[in-house]
Structure 1
Amino acid sequence: MSRELVLQLMDTHAGGDVSRIVTGGIERLPGATVREQMHYLRDDADGLRKLLLEEPYGIPEMSVDLLVPATDPAAAVGYIIMEVMGYPIYSGSNTICTATAVLESGLVPKREGRQRFALESPAGLVQIEALVENGVVEAITCEGLPSYIDTYRASIHVPEVGVVTYSVAYSGGFYALVDAAELGFHLTRDEERALADCAHRIVEAIQAERGFSHYTLGDVGPLPFLHFMGPVEQVADDFYRSRSTTYVHPGVICRSTTGTGTSARLALMNYEGRIRPGDKLETVSLRETGFIGKCTRVRHEGQGQVVENTITGKSYVLARSEILVNCEDPLVECAGLHHILSTAHSSERGE
């Protein structure tokens, strides 16, 4: 007899970035908050992230979102985000995908028109507005984290690239923001490999030179993201558009422009006096997909100005499936995983 442990999944994507939503098969995690449960996964059960982002089950370009019971009574569901770089406390594209999965799975009943509910992320409560038309989730608008500029137009020498001018924003993680044209890029799909190689060198150089500290959260780890910025086009009095590409260290160019990348751009454009509350920015990816960020409020906090914002996008359901986790398979590494797999979802078969 061989026991297979089963994970229930809903695969989704927003802007091309695939988010694999784990809807069942994991035991309840210890921790009084979703943030504490994230710390438990990171420190004691990182095998789940590795299992679903590595062969034979996944690839590093994907993300994983584990649904957990909310600890905040105002939230319908909690979720923990897992990526190749680790455990970000927030992600716009993952939030859009998770909100869609929560509606499509019936955890929050769908209603025609606009409806509001809250999710609990590791960063805290996130307000969601969903637009449902003819039973289809056509758009999700979620709060972006309050974003601000930490560093404006610093310079660094990067081996094999040269002197690079960059700014740094915090928008759920620290982002290096660089001008694509200054580095010789047009932000077309055929540049994807070269963009990843260039970004890898820049992030490595910045990480080696300095660290960053959030004004309330303190040390949140080394800078993991880089955002290539294309020229900004003004489409209307309060609407702007720009080609953009986000890199996640190590080695991943996101299919979408990312929600936190869009929030970082809003913070920079506000810092430069180019947008104000009520203005919107559409970021457009290498694959011609986009998110719309809106600057909703600017307030002064700490040593600078903080941009409150929302991100709007659409997520598509790709598949509902089960993954069979057989720890006897030589390609499957169950260390750091087996103790959180639910035996309630196991199956036995004769050999």
Structure 2
Amino acid sequence: MKPELTIQLMDTHAGGDVSRIVTGGIASLPGDTVRAQMEYLRDHADGLRRLLLEEPYGIPEMSVDLLVPPTDPLAAAGYIIMEVMGYPIYSGSNTICTATAVLEAGIVPKQEGRQQFLLESPAGLVQIDATVRDGVVESITCEGLPSYIHTYRATVEVPSLGRVTYSVAYSGGFYALVDAKELGFDLTLDEERRLAEAAHAIVEAVQAERRFSHHTLGDVGPLPFLHFMGPVEHVGEGYYRSRSATYVHPGVICRSTTGTGTSARLALMNYEGSIKPGDRLETISLRETSFIGEFSAVEQSGEVQMVKNQITGKSYVIARSDIVVNCDDPMVECGSLHHILSGQQ
């Protein structure tokens, strides 16, 4: 008999976005950093991402986070983020989910009250602040990548929508930021399909017209994401709230507002002078879930003003399971996966 090949998973969600945390079943990856291991996975073993995000095992709306041993001795664990569009170097919701899984799996023992530890992402070390009450992980606060505004209030002609005004922020990926009201949206759940269609049309129009270069990383590919911004409500001293929706892939609006989308929004609010360090923005999704972004500080990087920020959310464990990998199944393509399964003989 052929050996049974299995992958161990802990399924979680933060704000409605499901992150499948791979806790076992994958062999050690080559690379002296988590970033290098991510690049190996991307270039030589992309079958893992496709297996867990495509039929019959998954759907494109999910994300996958592979736990790997950290290469930095300060970190408790490393993780590689996989989404339908590829391998982002950072994600707020995935980090919140991974930090929760690390605690629930006992990799970092839970402590009542507030505890801190480091994770190693492809973007580098990430500070985690966890709050545990009665053994339950109540919240995770993680660093967002320093964010900045690349383009402010440009316009593009979009078929069926006309002339659209947008700004572009970098917060771990380039985001087009658009005013939902200007496009006739209230950011309610019944608009989800039309939001995805409009976002896809805008992103395609922007991609056809121009590319964006990161001020230190250079060309990081075409603009992938779009964040719809609702009106900002001033709730209290230093506290703001806004409905939001993030587009990541044709047909896919994230169920959460996303951490990187919230970070991008903070960068824009700082650019416009409407918030100050210490202020917080709560972004509300189509499904009424929320993340809280805190504007920590501004730092100068050359001519670019970077917004340091933190994202707070709560993740829930929804399943622990073993997935059986059937390479004889015609719906499973094992060619770029088989060699990294730890049960392979």
d(CA) in 2 for partners of 1:105 and 1:36?
Answer: 25
d(CA) in 2 for partners of 1:2 and 1:340?
Answer: 16
1:195 aligns with 2:223: no
1:96 aligns with 2:96: yes
d(CA) in 2 for partners of 1:150 and 1:299?
Answer: 15
| 1:103-133 Cα distance to aligned partner (Å, 9 max, x none) | 0000000000000000000000000000000
Q: Unaligned regions of 5+ residues in structure 2, if any?
A: none
Please provide the CA RMSD for this pair.
0.9
- Alignment check: 8 A CA contact 2:3 2:343 kept: no
Q: Unaligned regions of 5+ residues in structure 1, if any?
A: 347-351
Structure 1 equivalent of residue 211 of structure 2:
211
| 1:208-265 Cα distance to aligned partner (Å, 9 max, x none) | 1111111111111111110000000000120000000000023310000000000000
Structure 1 equivalent of residue 140 of structure 2:
140
> In terms of mean alpha carbon deviation, does 214-223 or 4-13 score higher?
214-223
- Alignment check: 8 A CA contact 1:71 1:78 kept: yes
- Alignment check: 8 A CA contact 1:3 1:326 kept: no
Q: What amino acid sits opposite 2:310 in the alignment?
A: T
1:120 aligns with 2:104: no
Structure 2 equivalent of residue 109 of structure 1:
109
Q: What amino acid sits opposite 1:143 in the alignment?
A: E
Q: What amino acid sits opposite 1:153 in the alignment?
A: R
| 1:259-293 Cα distance to aligned partner (Å, 9 max, x none) | 00000000000000000100000000000000000
d(CA) in 1 for partners of 2:84 and 2:290?
Answer: 22
Structure 2 equivalent of residue 325 of structure 1:
325
1:73 match: secondary structure = coil
- Alignment check: 8 A CA contact 1:29 1:40 kept: yes
1:168 match: secondary structure = strand
1:38 match: secondary structure = helix
How far apart are 1:82 and its partner, in Å?
0.3
How far apart are 1:300 and its partner, in Å?
1.9
1:202 match: secondary structure = helix
Q: What amino acid sits opposite 2:67 in the alignment?
A: L
Structure 1 equivalent of residue 228 of structure 2:
228
How far apart are 1:176 and its partner, in Å?
0.3
d(CA) in 2 for partners of 1:141 and 1:255?
Answer: 19
Percent of aligned positions that are identical: 79
**Following TM superposition, where does structure 1 have runs of at least 4 consecutive aligned residues deviating by more than 6 angstroms?**
none
1:343 match: secondary structure = coil
d(CA) in 1 for partners of 2:112 and 2:335?
Answer: 44
TM-score (norm 1): 0.97
2:274 match: secondary structure = coil
d(CA) in 2 for partners of 1:7 and 1:159?
Answer: 44
Matches within 5 A, 1:220-259: 220-259=220-259
How far apart are 1:304 and its partner, in Å?
2.4
- Alignment check: 8 A CA contact 1:84 1:250 kept: no
TM-score (norm 2): 0.99
